[in-house]
Amino acid sequence: MAGRNHLFVPGPTNTPHDVLSAMHLPMEDHRSPIFPKLLFPILQDLKTTFRTETGQCFVFPATGTAGWEVALTNCLNMGDKVLIYRFGQFGHLWAEAARRLGFDVEVHQVEWGKGIPLDHLEARLKDDKNHEIKAVLATHNETSTGVTSSIPGVRKALDAAHHPALLFVDGVSSIASIEFRQDEWGVDAAISGSQKGFMLPAGLAILGFSQKALAAAGTSNFPRSFFSLQDMAASNKDGYTPYTPSTPMLHGLKKALELLLAEGMDTVYARHYRLAEGVRRAVAAWGLQLCAHPGFESDTVTAVVVPADKDARDVISTAYSKYNLSLGAGLSEVAGKVFRIGHIGDMNEVALLGAIAGVEMAMLDHSFDIKAGSGVGAALEYYRSAAR
């Protein structure tokens, strides 16, 4: 098929040419005297991206999923109780990971399409008189349903309950895209991955830890080796890593951070909101519904609910095979019920209008009751009016 594939899944995302170029280099000695000149700026720029001055950032050659394990096994003790709300596939997987690691996992089911119920959380924390809950696991942006939860609201619930639990946040599809302020929101462990807002291939787990979390890591009795924060910190202080890193990925991360900070994090957040709002207006013009309930809409991915007599997998298949457009599939409980449009990372209005047009063509091919051009028209009118 002529032309390139148009990637509009919520991860992996499109990688800018400058980042790809930065990664295309000969192998190098990661023990050389000049290696710290690569690592130190990365760790400092990550602090700016995570919005932390008092915390410390780390990069592991792994994935966001591994980041869950880094936070859990370094900052908690074996068998500790953790609390999590399950309102999407990735919250489900995080809970399952904690359970497999031997933690006492308290899971609260929430309707998929909604986010963390803050009133319920505050009440549960107040009821935990003996502070048995050692950590709250909060999924900031649930990509399977296109739902964003309020992390400031979670911190407020913890503070209102005067509860000392650590706050762990899965920011894999939010950090570097949706507003995130680690210090201001009192986040103890912030977990991200390279393949979303950082615009890289998958392969890096990127984390930020508060001083409270780092202190907890010093007393944890959980066995760990590859994912040891203490080993990583001991090497990082001199500009090195405790084992062989992926140097091309680090060069790519350095360039990606330069691009993000040159744009400015507040501008990055505003751009993602603007792009997402155009997609939401297109969905409304089609007469379709979002999976996300009002107030929970994500600015990095939109999950679109198809009519009951349609199968979202048909739209996804046709978009890919006929129009060379990659869309996200519905996962688990919403499989076949939604398709997902990713609008995260290296993205702009014109690119997203192309995706909206491709979605329209695929839906029309499956006899959706929509008017050709309606979504594109609604989005382009919004983008024109909201232009910077």
Q: How much is the average pLDDT of 253-275?
A: 98
Of the pLDDT bands very low, low, confident and very high (cuts 50, 70, 90), residue 388 is low
Residue 71's nearest CA partner among 249, 239, 222 is 222
Give the model's pLDDT for residue 79: 97
What's 17-263's CATH class? alpha beta
Give the model's pLDDT for residue 59: 98
Give the model's pLDDT for residue 387: 74
Alpha helices in the chain (DSSP H): 17-23, 36-50, 64-75, 89-100, 118-127, 151-160, 182-185, 211-217, 229-236, 247-263, 265-286, 312-323, 349-365, 374-385
Reported pTM: 0.97
Percent of the chain with pLDDT over 90: 98
For residue 112, the 8-state DSSP code is: B
Of the pLDDT bands very low, low, confident and very high (cuts 50, 70, 90), residue 4 is confident
Q: Is the dihedral of CA 303, 261, 186, 157 positive or negative?
A: negative
Q: Where are the domains of the chain?
A: 6-12+264-385, 17-263
Region of 22 (left: φ > 0; alpha: ψ -120 to 50; beta: rest) is: alpha
Rounded to whole angstroms, what are the CA distances from 367 to 308, 363, 371?
13, 6, 11
Q: How much is the average pLDDT of 254-267?
A: 98
* Three-class SS state of 291: coil
Q: Do 150 and 116 form a contact (C-beta atoms < 8 A)?
A: yes
Tokens of 211: 């001083």
Helix (H) or strand (E) holding 189: strand 189-193
- 213-239: per-residue pLDDT in tens? 999 999 999 999 999 999 999 999 999
The residue with tokens 């995570």 is: 50
Of the pLDDT bands very low, low, confident and very high (cuts 50, 70, 90), residue 2 is confident
* Three-class SS state of 305: strand
- 137-154: per-residue pLDDT in tens? 999 999 999 999 999 999
Integer Cα distance of 246 and 255 in angstroms: 15
Would the pLDDT of 1 be above 80? no
Percent of the chain with pLDDT over 70: 99
Integer Cα distance of 240 and 30 in angstroms: 8
* Answer CATH for 6-12+264-385 from 3.90.1150.10, 3.30.470.20, 3.20.20.80, 3.40.640.10: 3.90.1150.10
- 6-47: per-residue pLDDT in tens? 999 999 999 999 999 999 999 999 999 999 999 999 999 999
